Structure formats: structure tokens, C-alpha cells
Amino acid sequence: MSAVAVRLGVLDVGSNTVHLLVVDATRGGPPLPQSSHKSVLRLMRYLEPSGRISDEGVRAVVEAVAQGAARAAEAGIDELLAFATSALREAPNGPEVLDLVEATTGVRLQVLTGEEEARTTFLAVRRWYGWSAGDMLLLDIGGGSLEIAAGDSEVPDLAVSLPLGAGRSTIGFLHDDPPTGEQTAALREHAAALLAGTVRQFADLPRPEHVVGSSKTIRSLARLAGSTSDGVGARDRLMLRRSALEDWVPRLAKIPAEARPALPGITVDRTFQIVAGGIVLAETLRAFKVSELEVSPWALREGLILQYLDRLI
């Protein structure tokens, strides 16, 4: 008997964008993308000193979710998987915003913890690379947080989340455009200090056979500074060496945000936070003594799709 196909919409309310991905999927098969719709949100700019999302930011969230839900309905989906990550998770008025979004749009957002983000993304990356990849170390940089996970199965042995997202780091440290040398140095020191304790948590785990990066920020940096190598079958692997990244980050930091999209891989929705993302990634690779990482096409959204399909009977 053939597997039943379902059309899923995954609505990802992140710190930087609200992204709808529509896929056709069957249990045991890869999700096949059908359409995509993205609204640039940059929610970090709407955070008040208390951490609350401002009234303007709340309106922006509601509008972006409404647009995504409308596009999902137009696509004829069977199920909408709607979730939110660090910005809504940590805002003191987050629960109120979630209630307002549901009352206005009919969409109830599932709020993922940082550890859930890391574990779900790890599942997606493991499925992409397969069991033969052995022990893996995953790095994922979102707008609000950095997720790190490691293990040799679909469930990581350890998964952590750090407040080192590209958007959060930009708002917190890189106040000028382009940022000053003192600002980038302060972010490097801050990231190194947070990562030092995290590295000790992972110290007893086996040395990874593969270090994998996911998220749009890492893909953008890899397209700018990385290279491709032969993969399995027809797949080319996108690779990023730490030395190339460290060469590019100071150059990026001297270019105004409005000019960065002229560079390969840097999109308008990431241009304001790509420098902070590069600094955080470089410090993470240095802390874990990693010289090169591979870039996974699958990340959190695909992980949620796979979890949904695994629950189907």
C-alpha cells in the first residue's frame, strides 16, 4: 500500500523573519518543497529595555503571521505547523502576544525551548547525512540564539542553547553601521566567554566525525567564504573553513549594511546581522577547535516536518 501524501505548511516565526514553507510529504520520503513566503521582521529591533516586544513589534508579528496563514490557505495545505523561537519565548509579554496572534489570525504558535530547537534541528541534519556520518557536532545560529548539539544517533547526547543569535548580538554590541573595532572586539570577547563553559560540557563526548552548520546565517557565510566538494551521489557539499571565515569577517565589518547584498550569498534580510553571525560562528569554531564545517540544507523546519511524519500511523 502506498504512503499517503500530505501537504504541510511550516510557519516559522523567528527573530529575523516569518517564513512559510509549503511541502508535499510522505512518511519515509523526503519533504518536497512547493512554495515559500517570507516576511522580514527583525523582531529584535522592537524589544524594549525590559525585553518586552513593543506595540509596534506586536502589530508586525500579527501582520506577518496573518500573511503567512493566508498564503498557507491559498496553497491548500492539510496541516499548518506554526512555531516561534527565542524572541517570543523570552519576551515578558510573549504569552499575551501569542494569545493576540491566535485571536486575530486563528493560528496558535507553538513556542520551542532552545533545547527543543537544538534537538529538532539535529534530527533533520542526522536524516540528511544518514547513519554513516557517525558522531556529529551541530551548530545553528538563529536570530536570537545559538544552538549546539552532538551525538551519534537521531537524538543528541547533549543539546544546548546560548543567547548568541546574530540579531541579538547585533543589537547588543554592534551599535554603529559599520561597527567599530571596539564593538566587534567586545562581541568576540563576550561570545568566547559564554562558549568556554559550553565547550567543557561537551568535553567528554567523542570527537565528531562531522561538524555541520545549519541556518540561513551559516549558509550565507558559506556562500560568501566557502567552497564545494564532492558529496554523496549528485550532492555537492558546501564547506566553510574557519580560516576563510576569519579572513572575511573583518572585511564585512568595514562595509555598510546597505552595500553587503552586493556580495555573494548576502541577502537583504540578513545584511544587518551577518557581521555578528560571522563573529559568533568564528568564535564557536575556535572554541571547539574546528577548522572546517559542512553546511546542511535541512534545519529546524525540516526537523519539525520529520517529527510530524514520524507520528503518522
Kindly report, residue by residue over 63-92, the tens digit of the pLDDT: 999 999 999 999 999 999 999 998 899 999
Number of other CB atoms surrounding residue 220 within 10 Å: 25
Give the mean model confidence (pLDDT) for residues 53-62.
97
Whether 143 is covered by a domain: the verdict is yes
Q: Does 1 have pLDDT greater than 90?
A: no
Give the global pTM: 0.94
Question: Same domain, yes or no, for 43 and 166?
Answer: no
What is the predicted pLDDT for the residue at 24? 96
Question: Same domain, yes or no, for 89 and 129?
Answer: no
Query: Which residues on adjacent β-strands are paired with residue 11?
Result: 20, 82
What is the predicted pLDDT for the residue at 228? 81
Q: Which of 159, 190, 157 has its CA nearest to residue 173?
A: 190
Question: Same domain, yes or no, for 167 and 239?
Answer: yes
- pLDDT tier, 313 (very low <50, low <70, confident <90, very high otherwise): low
- pLDDT tier, 230 (very low <50, low <70, confident <90, very high otherwise): low
- For residue 228, the surrounding DSSP H or E stretch is strand 227-230
The single-letter code of the amino acid at 227 is S
Give the mean model confidence (pLDDT) for residues 97-107.
98
Whether 308 is covered by a domain: the verdict is no
Give the mean model confidence (pLDDT) for residues 171-177.
97
- Residue 10's CATH number: 3.30.420.40
Q: Does 231 have pLDDT greater than 70?
A: no
Kindly report, residue by residue over 127-170, the tens digit of the pLDDT: 999 999 999 999 999 999 999 999 999 999 999 999 999 999 99
Final residue in a domain of this structure, among 111, 128, 159: 111
Whether 147 is covered by a domain: the verdict is yes
Whether 18 is covered by a domain: the verdict is yes
Question: Same domain, yes or no, for 206 and 270?
Answer: yes
* Count of structural domains within the chain: 2
Question: Same domain, yes or no, for 17 and 53?
Answer: yes
Whether 23 is covered by a domain: the verdict is yes
Final residue in a domain of this structure, among 111, 137, 155: 111
Question: Same domain, yes or no, for 126 and 96?
Answer: no
Cβ(136)–Cβ(126) below 8 Å:
yes
What is the predicted pLDDT for the residue at 233? 41
Question: Same domain, yes or no, for 220 and 72?
Answer: no
Sheet strands side by side (includes 79-84): 32-40, 17-25, 6-13, 79-84, 110-111
Whether 309 is covered by a domain: the verdict is no
Final residue in a domain of this structure, among 111, 146, 170: 111
Domain that holds residue 59: 6-111
Question: Same domain, yes or no, for 96 and 215?
Answer: no
Give the mean model confidence (pLDDT) for residues 193-207.
97
Q: List CB contacts of 209: < 8 A, sequence separation 6 or more.
A: 133, 134, 135, 136
Whether 313 is covered by a domain: the verdict is no
- Residue 262's CATH number: 3.30.420.150
Question: Same domain, yes or no, for 140 and 178?
Answer: yes
**221-239 exposure pattern, b = at least 16 Cβ within 10 A, e = fewer:** bbbbbbeeeeeeeeeebbb
Question: Same domain, yes or no, for 39 and 151?
Answer: no
Question: Same domain, yes or no, for 181 and 210?
Answer: yes
Question: Same domain, yes or no, for 146 and 291?
Answer: yes
